[in-house]
Structure 1
Amino acid sequence: MAHTRMLTLDPSLPRTEPRGHGLRLTAWDAGSDADAQTWLRGHLDPDFRRWNTPLKLWSDLAGARESLRGRARDAADGRSASFRITDEDSGTALGHIGLGEISRQLKTARVGYWVLPEARGRGVATRALLLVSRWAYAELALHRLELGHAVGHDASCRVAERSGYRAEGTLREAMFEAGRRDAFRDVHLHARLATDEEPAPPGAR
């Protein structure tokens, strides 16, 4: 069963922290060296860079801290919510999952995630996506969550499908090519509604 703890966000948003399925989702701390190092390592990972091109490129701890501070500002304004995925028992960092483009008026948001290399193959992304989805529907009263990944990113596609995010089509040239700003690639769009059935987590019987 999933549980919640307090989380610092925009005062108008519920302050809860998703927990369950063997994971705990905690807010990133821009003032923490450990968090900044984990954030940097995740963004320098070759697999991350193959499938993602951040709007602002950086490659050092100073850039990681500024990126996390930007995330904190967006969270304080209610535009996003960013979570460090951790093991529920040990507290070991496993990756990131977040909601962006949150619209309380339209009741929508976009989901993004990545998992550190040593944590892959254990259903971490799927379990985290199930947790953050439940949190978004219950705590933010959102109705529709969207998830986009580059065409060809089969692992992310499987995570989406296992988490109940149905494939809805292909968005033409909706994402930058890896490491470029002058070329684009197609994106597969998935979405899940608050009224859709919640799948069981990996390994559940």
Structure 2
Amino acid sequence: MRKLSEHYSELKAFNKKSIRKKREIRVGVSVLTDRGIGIVTWRKGDEIEVAVKPDREDEVMLCYRYNYAICDVEISINAVPDNDRLFNGAWYWIINQAIVRNQDYEAKKHRAIFDDLEPNIPGKRADREVDMGIWGSATYRRYTGVNKYGQPFDFELCLRPALAIPYGDRIMYSLGSSDGYITDMNGHGWIYRRKMRDNDINYGLAKCAGPQEEVV
């Protein structure tokens, strides 16, 4: 059986250096590549994406991004200055990818809560179909009742196509398991938590779905 290098004391120093390198090469770090200095904008395992300057100064793009293996780059002693166009371009991509990952995580989390706990919502339910024009139709379900603490709720969720955020928080409130906060999104796409207000769980029909009409 072939032994791994960590079994040999003579090679432990090399292993430690390799492990340290893997830990230090993270998003936002300046590295040296075969295209010059760059900034790591994404990492998954041993694969990274690095933003580097365009070949010409008159290029419109602030940076270009290339994929590398961690073993193919080295950490730069000198970091890219924060007033450099490369810095601005790299961090544009870092922030946007962070927003996308954050939204994806939250959507999956709320969808998982919906799939698992929606059948347990107490009280009454009423479904309706809403004509969305060229986009077809959407199915909405209205929930009215009180949770185990006697707190009332009256809200509507879209079942088809499902819009997950912040469904999980409303469902948890209806079950009496809310922490008092609800997921929200600012004008730049960042998701955050804020104190729940009454109209977050007592708004009746979804306003974006159609005219405010009584569900029979």
TM-score between the two structures when normalised by the length of structure 1 = 0.22
TM-score between the two structures when normalised by the length of structure 2 = 0.21
Pick the structure with more helix per residue: 2
Larger radius of gyration between Structure 1 and Structure 2: 2
Q: Pick 1 or 2: higher relative contact order, CA cutoff 8 A, min separation 6.
A: 1
